[in-house]
Amino acid sequence: MKYLSKLTIVFFLLTMAGAYPAFAAVTDTGAGITIDNTADIEFSVGGSPTTTVTSSTASFVVDHKVRPVVAVSTTTQYVVAGSTSQYLGFTVTNDGNSAAALPIVLSNEQAGALVMTNIAYYQEDGTTPGFQAAEDTLLPGPTPTINVDRDPANAVTIYLVGDTPAGATAGQTATYHLIATANVTEAATDDPAVSDDVYADDAGTSTGDVAYNGLHSANALFEVVDVTLTAAKSSSVISDGVNAAPPFFRIPGSVIEYRVEITNTSALLPASNVTLTDAIPANLTYVADSVQIDGTAYADGSAQVTYAAGPPEEITVTLPADLPVSTTIPITFQVTID
Ligand SMILES: [Ca+2]
Ligand SMILES: [Ca+2]
Ligand SMILES: [Ca+2]
């Protein structure tokens, strides 16, 4: 009982650590290994001592189980029209018993109204999870070949990367099937002396991807969405130079605070490089260093605030980070009435 409990704990810990393999390929007998077998025959005749006869040796070589496996790591990628270097993530695993790394040719099949342009394949280089064009490895050609070790720990992460056409419209989708084809030819018959290639793949998602046809596929989706920002502007009086306490009035010398609430109405994608430009109207003077973004003050001339004396005076405010989905961030600044 104690022993079983320990086993359970070890299994649990390995699973938690991600060390327990999802595939069991490395426990399969390797392709190319020769297995010899003989039998011993014992007999006696009329009370004679036992005689042993050994059979001839039956030898064969273990065949090559060819089993590429494709899985999806990014099921849906939301994109906007005109966006570049959008990607779907896949893993490609060699789940066979290859003696050497299995050569696998990558290709794709597209379906849907959306057709991405400049499709390319990149291989994750392990530095940073996710696709980075400057880091990950661009694979050459329209149907590149990768070599995948049979150890599931060495599964290869592939990014199918493309640009969204400028004319794409919200709601359009593109399904892309990543197809991994083993670059070996299945043997017609078994030669016991040869490690023959035998297709052992599953059926997949692409057209005609049945079981045992030497390839496997999985699919993921690009979907076009609209990202719209709204901006609501209001003003309030901070002081009027006359009254010590509210209510204040809007007279020359009063300090007015403008508030612009910027909302990302998209529930799917953040907005990047959000910038507000405000030309200060006549009869008002901007109060230096009065910009606040979401309650945090930023000085004129900082990375977030550019001031131009004009006329007219103009401030440009850049959010320090992406505006997250379904989020409102207020920008405030102050002016005085001349
Ligand atoms: Ca990466
Ligand atoms: Ca064989
Ligand atoms: Ca198949």
What whole-number distance in Å separates Cα of residue 272 and Cα of residue 229? 11
Q: Is residue 1 part of a domain?
A: no
CA distance 135 to 288: 42
Residue where a domain stops, chosen among 186, 202, 224: 224
Nearest to 110, CA basis, from 84, 139, 142: 142
Q: What is the DSSP string of 89-108?
A: EEEEEE-S--SSPEEEEEEE
- In angstroms, the Cα distances linking 84 to 41, 69, 203, 233 are 74, 28, 32, 32
105 in Cβ contact with 144 (< 8 Å): yes
Residue 176 CA, distance from chain mean position: 14
* C-beta separation of 79 from 111 below 8 A: no
Q: Quote the CA–CA distance of 182 and 106 in Å, as a whole number.
A: 9
Look up tokens 């070949």; give the residue. Answer: 145
Q: From ligand 3's centre to the CA of 150, what distance in Å?
A: 18
For residue 172, the SS3 value is coil
CA of 186 to the centre of ligand 2 (A): 11
Q: Determine the distance separating the centroid of ligand 2 and the alpha carbon of 156, expressed in angstroms.
A: 28
Report how far ligand 1's centroid is from the alpha carbon of 91 (Å).
13
Which pair of structure tokens corresponds to residue 156?
A: 């290869």
* Residues 315, 257 share a domain: yes
Distance 210 CA to ligand 3 centre (A): 5
Considering 199, 224, 249, which residue would you say is the last residue of a domain? 224
According to the model, what pLDDT value does residue 333 have? 97
Structure tokens, 138: 């661009």
Residue-by-residue DSSP string for 107-120: EEEEESS---EEEE
The per-residue pLDDT string of the chain (338 residues; one tens digit each, 9 = 90 and over) reads 344 444 343 333 333 333 344 455 578 899 999 999 999 999 999 888 999 999 999 999 999 999 999 999 888 999 999 999 999 999 999 999 998 999 999 999 999 999 999 999 999 999 999 999 999 999 999 999 999 999 878 899 999 999 999 999 999 999 999 999 999 999 999 999 999 999 999 999 999 999 999 999 999 999 999 889 999 999 999 999 999 999 999 999 999 999 999 999 988 889 999 999 999 999 999 999 999 999 999 999 999 999 999 889 999 999 999 999 999 999 999 999 99
Q: Which domain holds residue 144?
A: 65-224
Are 243 and 220 within one domain?
A: no
Note whether 133 and 89 are same-domain residues.
yes
pLDDT of residue 271: 92
Q: With respect to residue 11, please indicate whether it lies within any of the assigned structural domains.
A: no
Q: How far does residue 193's CA lie from ligand 3's centre (Å)?
A: 27
Q: How far is the CA of 19 from the centre of ligand 1 (A)?
A: 21
